[in-house]
Amino acid sequence: MVNDKMVNYFNVADFVFGMEVTEEQVKQLPNYAPFQSPITNDQCPIFVIHFNECEMPSPEGWEHVYTDRSDDDMPRIEMYQRPDAWLFRISMSREGEVVSTMVCSHDWSDVQLYSRAVYTRFAIDNAAMLVYAFATGDKKTLLFHSSVTVLNDKGHMFLGHSGTGKSTHSQQWKKAFPESWLLNDDNPVVRVLEDNSVRVYGSPWSGKTPCYKQQSVPLQALVQLAQAPENKINKLRMSQAYPYILASVSGLKVMPEMMDHIYESIAQVLELVPVYKLECLPNEDAARLCAQTCSL
């Protein structure tokens, strides 16, 4: 216990990380409850976030590396560096004010997070999700922007830009196959395991849909979605599929060493799991066509 804080541990896709927060702050993070896990003596957390309700450090004296302004409705992330550390400044929208700052050790193991109390959940969610992707990038692990539906104990991942209809397509599967269920609706984790099997895991990060499941299933297929006037599906060659997968995976493209690991993991996934492109309407027939094709 330190100043009313304690380190809480969470297990996501069999990687453990910690958060040093107060009991009141933990209550603001119900999405992490299914993943809370005691740590054993032989486990070492991949990172620990120390949350500080105090003034955010200035980027003065840091070298600016990168600013991500990808989408209007997504957080803006500014990245800076020094020889021994990284600094991230995060806003809630593309043009919004900076509401949280985190200083990370070069190996990502130690994260000092600064924000005001009103932004606790936003600050911790974004910090944990980003650092998780960075810290596991060399461990055959990929954090996807995707919706995942499970049918017959196998996961089907739907990819596409925001607004493409990933969540809608998952809903159509539920209508077409009442026994199907949603594993995660925004940021599932995919791992290539030692036996060359590929599994998809739930995570504490699920966008606008509350879906926080400490479960995993074998990955059956990846499906790139596109809106169209009729339903049509085609299997993609690796060269066709690679850009879609890369665009759906979290990583720091300004860090060549990290991206080399991510490229290798993507290539392994593509060797082991089929990828399809589904041009479709938002209806149950599209779900049936997709499920039938993926099961062949």
- What's the CATH code of the domain at 200? 3.90.228.20
148 and 270 in a single domain? The answer is yes
Asked whether residue 2 carries a pLDDT value surpassing 50, the answer given is no
278 and 149 in a single domain? The answer is yes
> In whole numbers, what is the pLDDT of the chain averaged over residues?
94
Structural domain ending residue among the three candidates 120, 135, 150: 135
The pLDDT, as a whole number, for residue 72 is 61
Confidence of residue 291 (pLDDT cuts 50, 70, 90): very high
The pLDDT, as a whole number, for residue 201 is 98
Asked whether residue 69 carries a pLDDT value surpassing 80, the answer given is no
Q: What is the mean pLDDT of residues 95-112?
A: 95
Asked whether residue 173 carries a pLDDT value surpassing 80, the answer given is yes
Q: What is the pTM of this model?
A: 0.94
129 and 152 in a single domain? The answer is no
Confidence of residue 1 (pLDDT cuts 50, 70, 90): very low
186 and 67 in a single domain? The answer is no
Asked whether residue 70 carries a pLDDT value surpassing 80, the answer given is no
Confidence of residue 42 (pLDDT cuts 50, 70, 90): confident
97 and 193 in a single domain? The answer is no
The pLDDT, as a whole number, for residue 164 is 85
Distance between CA atoms of residues 220 and 200, nearest Å:
9
Q: What is the mean pLDDT of residues 34-57?
A: 91
86 and 176 in a single domain? The answer is no
Structural domain ending residue among the three candidates 72, 104, 135: 135
161 and 118 in a single domain? The answer is no
The pLDDT, as a whole number, for residue 258 is 93
User: Which residues make Cβ contacts (< 8 Å) with residue 251, sequence separation at least 6?
Assistant: 133, 134, 137, 258, 259, 262
150 and 10 in a single domain? The answer is no
The pLDDT, as a whole number, for residue 80 is 96
Q: What is the mean pLDDT of residues 228-245?
A: 97
213 and 131 in a single domain? The answer is no
146 and 290 in a single domain? The answer is yes
Per residue in 183-195, pLDDT tens?
Answer: 999 999 999 999 9
Confidence of residue 253 (pLDDT cuts 50, 70, 90): confident
163 and 265 in a single domain? The answer is yes
Per-residue tokens: 222 = 């990846």
Distance between CA atoms of residues 6 and 109, nearest Å:
17
Domain range holding 154?
141-294
Structural domain ending residue among the three candidates 135, 163, 183: 135
Query: Higher model confidence: residue 108 or residue 94?
Result: 108
111 and 147 in a single domain? The answer is no
The pLDDT, as a whole number, for residue 3 is 58
Total domains present in the chain? 2
Q: Residue 205 burial by CB count (10 A; 0-12/13-18/19+): exposed, middle or buried?
A: buried
The pLDDT, as a whole number, for residue 41 is 78
